[in-house]
A and B are shown apart, each in its own frame.
Chain A
Amino acid sequence: MAEEKQAKQEKSIDQATLEMLAKAAEEGISTVFDRAEHMKPCPIGADGSCCKNCAMGPCRIPLGKGKDETPEEHARRVGVCGATAETIAARNFVRMIAAGSASHGDHGRRVVEAFKLMAEGKTKDFEIKDEQKLLKLALDLGVDIGDRSNNEIALDIAKICEREFGKQEGELIFIKNAPLKRQEIWRELGVVPRGIDREIVELMHRTHMGVDQDYKNLMLQGTRAALADGWGGSMISTEIQDCMFGTPTPTFSEINLGVLKEENVNIVVHGHEPALAEMLAVESKDPELIEYAKSKGAKGIGLVGMCCTANEVMMRHGIPIGGNYLQQELAIVTGALEAMVVDVQCIMQGLMEVARCFHTRLINTDNRSRISGADYMPFDELHPRESAKAIIKAAIDNYPNRQADKVRIPQVKTPLIAGFSHETINYLLGGLFRASYRPLNDNIINGRIRGLAGVVGCNNARTPHDSAHILMIKELLKNDVLVLSTGCAAMAAAKQGLMVPEAAKEFCGPGLAEVCETVGIPPVLHMGACIDNSRILIAATAVVKDGGLGDDISDLPAAGAAPEWMSEKAIAIGQYFVASGVYTVFGTTWPTTGSKEFTKYLFEGMEEMYGGKWAFEPDPVKAAHLMIAHIDKKRKALGIDKARERILYDMAMRRELEG
């Protein structure tokens, strides 16, 4: 019994998750946690030593564990076509980048399409929520402002952004948002993306059987496609979403499965693209629909987010978050969900099987992502309000089917403050009339803040849920490193109470605590969904441009990490961070160990080219130490390592001085 409890505890550090896993076990429901236990990862695929790019394969060329191979043994380790371990590992790696960049790019394209429909007046349900952001984009893109209406300006912006996807030559426009030195590095290496789609298509071509056989050359194109994500597809999504739905500002909310209320019609919105979720957020407050819910015996309508869609609607509307990636099935296991509404990305196919055990309707809204057995209620971009109303109504109609004896909601939830867009950080640090990153730079230079870390990414059923995120983040905070977070990592931090200002006192080193307390910010800043990692790029650029910390992102005392990554998008994000000059540490597993040479290139060779590089460290505390060592190395190079020692006077030291 004790052993069983121990095994369960190892699955997650989150109480709500453990409670729902116990309920699932009692009711004989299989979840991702069980499946991960029964299916061990294939060691050959895990190392990137398997190729199935043509029908002469699949070719499996595993590297023998625990012994060094001789050059002869290495030479024999090739596929049927002669592809080496280097080529195979590199092709697999860059195909992950292609898939990740494609996902963010396609998300961006949909957002631009909705924006264009709005600007053309074809849909009345969306409007410009943030004129400030619209004007900023107009200035960035050289769109005439004058006395033109917001929609006229928006239409020009939409057309320019739309062209970024199909452009065949030149440079992506948002590349110009990067520090000047960074742009020069990219130009010299020939990795500036021409068009978002073109780089992904070329990458797929180059990984076809018998094309690019030089891993360094493959990685150049991999980088180009990754940059087309971070400084292209993702950045366009974030900017246009801010225009249409509002730039995030500090918002108070709550997180974890305890936000579900038994007396409500509960709807979880899960996935990534915010247009439908935005409308659901608005319509869930519609008095007529609330009345309708009451007519069915409920007290009201409870809209709750899951995964990155949750981040989007929480930051803009304060809609509570049910949980992160590994909690999606568990939300249904509560027995209290009338509907789970999904669109694209990170939606487990296992959801349908779990939903069958309850009355929950799984509602599939996107034609690109159909789910067998789920209800298909397509999101109509021309009539988003109608789509949202129909979905909420379907959920309400399902309320009488709920079985009271199957309902058990864990009473676990935590408050959080989110919405730290780059614009908000800029404002919070300087106020409306002095908005600037200066105070942040000053506090990095004087050593109160030792450095910055972006801790982002997913959950992965191969590592205890949320554990690596939290161990890493706490270690960083203790060492005065301010943490910026997005995606499921941000949700992990929020669940552990790290996203309220009070956390500074409890978890931070004295310098960081002082800064957070003065500004009134939490020590872990929630910057949004995984698409919003582009906000971190812009924040890093703002720090560079403000001065005093070098003239490129690679000069900053900063590092990035995704300790529980699982998605191909994470690899694309990691590569655009590395190529932007950031030291980036991944945990859990590393997909290229089948080729020592290629892995060495990623872990060491990249630094000479980009100033940033990859690292892999499954122990989150050790990984945090690697990041801190990198931060210290950068501080030394900037000549601010001494200042750090000078400034950190505690009270005893101060009294001594005064005495």
Chain B
Amino acid sequence: MEKKATSKTAATGSADPAEKFVKKQAPGRGTVEILAESYEPGEPEGEEAGRWRQKLGDRNEKIKYLKSGERYWYSDDWFGSEKRKNPA
């Protein structure tokens, strides 16, 4: 998702964004102080905001992404938990 370009520091008025905290109820530990949100306020703009799939150009690029990203678990030299197993 794209976010608005306004800088977070400007939005919070603080020099170090990491210094923004909030108090929250943590299960079993009462009130705790944690880092506040780090995303920019606001909503993505325009219909195109979330359309990441269009970033891939031609067929070769798409197939490359499929092999390295979306389908890599199904490739012959997969990795992860099933590495040691025989192909289905």
Q: Tell me the complex Cα distance, A655–B1, Å.
A: 33
- Complex CA gap A300/B70 in Å reads 41
Enumerate B28-50 residues with CB–CB distance to A below 8 Å: 29, 32-39, 41, 43-44, 47, 49-50
A650 touching B34 in the complex, CB below 8 Å, given contacts A132-B62, A415-B43, A549-B81: yes
> A517 to chain B: which residues have CB within 8 Å?
37-39
B residues in contact with A130, CB < 8 Å: 53
Which chain A positions have C-beta within 8 A of B88? Answer: 176, 180, 183
Which residues of chain B are within 8 angstroms of A513 by Cβ–Cβ distance? 24, 34, 37
Inter-chain contact A545/B53, CB cutoff 8 Å? no
Chain A residues lying within 8 Å of B43, measured Cβ to Cβ, are: 252, 415, 417, 500
Residues 540-557 of chain A, each 1 if its beta carbon lies under 8 Å from chain B, else 0? 011011111111000000
A249 touches B51 (CB 8 A): yes
A520 touching B39 by the CB < 8 A rule? yes
Q: Which residues in window 399-443 of A have CB below 8 A to B?
A: 415, 417, 419, 423-424, 426-428, 430, 432, 434-436
Contact with B1, one of A250, A478, A505, A549 (Cβ below 8 angstroms): A250
B79 pairs with A547, CB closer than 8 A: yes
A651 within 8 A of B: yes
Given A135-B63, A250-B44, A509-B26: A545 and B80 interface contact (C-beta under 8 Å): yes
B73 in contact with A419 (CB, 8 Å): no
Complex contact B53–A136 (CB within 8 A): no
Tell me if A504 is interfacial: C-beta within 8 Å of chain B.
yes
> In the docked arrangement, what's the CA distance between A548 and B21, Å?
32
Q: How many residues of A contact B (CB 8 A)?
A: 62
Q: Closest CB of chain A to B83's CB: distance in Å?
A: 8
Asked whether B50 lies within 8 Å of A249 as measured between CB atoms, the reply is: yes
* Bound-state Cα–Cα, A135 to B62, Å: 8
- In the assembled complex, the CB of A446 is this many whole angstroms from the nearest CB of chain B, namely 15
Whole-angstrom CA separation of A274 from B71 in the bound complex: 26
Q: Are B34 and A520 interface neighbours, CB within 8 A?
A: no
Cα distance A465–B4 in the bound complex, in angstroms: 36
B73–A546 contact, CB under 8 A? yes
If over half of B's interface residues share one DSSP class (helix, strand or loop), that class is named, otherwise mixed; here it is: loop
**Residues of B contacting A514 with CB < 8 Å?**
34-35
Tell me the complex Cα distance, A521–B37, Å: 12
Shortest distance between the CB of B67 and any CB in chain A (Å): 8
In the complex, which residues of chain B have a beta carbon less than 8 angstroms from the beta carbon of A423?
Answer: 53, 70
Chain A residues near B37 (CB-CB < 8 A): 501-502, 504-505, 513, 517
In angstroms, Cα B43 to Cα A139, docked, is 36
Give the chain B neighbours of A478 by CB distance below 8 A: 25, 27
A247 within 8 A of B: yes
B81 touches A551 (CB 8 A): yes
- Residue among A247, A417, A430 facing the most chain B CB atoms (10 A cut-off): A417
Q: Which residues from 525 to 553 on chain A have a C-beta closer than 8 Å to any C-beta of chain B? A: 541-542, 544-551
Residues from chain B with a CB closer than 8 A to the CB of A434 are 69
**How far is B50's CA from A521's CA once the two chains are assembled, in angstroms?**
12
State how many angstroms separate the Cβ of B28 from the closest Cβ of chain A.
10
Answer whether residue A457 sits at the interface, using C-beta atoms and an 8 A cutoff.
Answer: no
Contact at A650–B26, with CB atoms within 8 Å?
yes
A251 within 8 Å of B (CB atoms): yes
Most buried by B among A179, A436, A501, A551: A501
Contact call B38/A136, Cβ cutoff below 8 A: no
Q: Which residue of B lies closest to A130 (CB)?
A: B53
The residues of B that contact A505 with a CB separation of less than 8 Å are 22, 36-37
Given A504-B37, A510-B26, A132:B80 Cβ within 8 A: no
- Please determine whether A426 and B70 come into contact, CB atoms closer than 8 angstroms: yes
Indicate which residue in B36, B70, B78 contacts A435 across the interface (CB closer than 8 Å): B70
User: A145 at interface (Cβ–Cβ under 8 A)?
Assistant: yes
CA distance A130 to B70 in the complex (A): 14
Determine whether A318 belongs to the interface, using a CB cutoff of 8 Å to chain B: yes
CB within 8 Å for A417 and B79 given contacts A131-B62, A435-B70: no
A318 near B47: Cβ-Cβ < 8 Å? yes
The residues of A that contact B69 with a CB separation of less than 8 Å are 426-427, 430, 432, 434-436
CB–CB B1/A520 < 8 A: yes
| A residues near B25, Cβ cutoff 8 Å | 478
Shortest Cβ gap from B24 to chain A (Å): 6
B45 nearest in chain A by CB position: A252
Q: Which single member of A131, A252, A549 contacts B59 (CB below 8 Å)? A: A131
Report B49 CB to chain A, min CB distance, Å.
7
Interface residues of A (CB under 8 A from B): 130-132, 135-136, 139-140, 145, 176, 179-181, 183, 246-247, 249-252, 318, 415, 417, 419, 423-424, 426-428, 430, 432, 434-436, 478-479, 500-502, 504-505, 509-510, 513-514, 517-518, 520-521, 541-542, 544-551, 648, 650-652
- Given A140-B71, A181-B85, A502-B41, 11 extra CB contacts under 8 A: A132-B53, A145-B59, A176-B88, A252-B44, A432-B55, A435-B65, A435-B68, A435-B69, A513-B24, A544-B81, A545-B80
Report, nearest first, the 10 A-B pairs whose CB atoms are least far apart: A250-B50, A435-B69, A547-B80, A545-B73, A650-B32, A510-B34, A651-B33, A551-B81, A547-B81, A517-B37
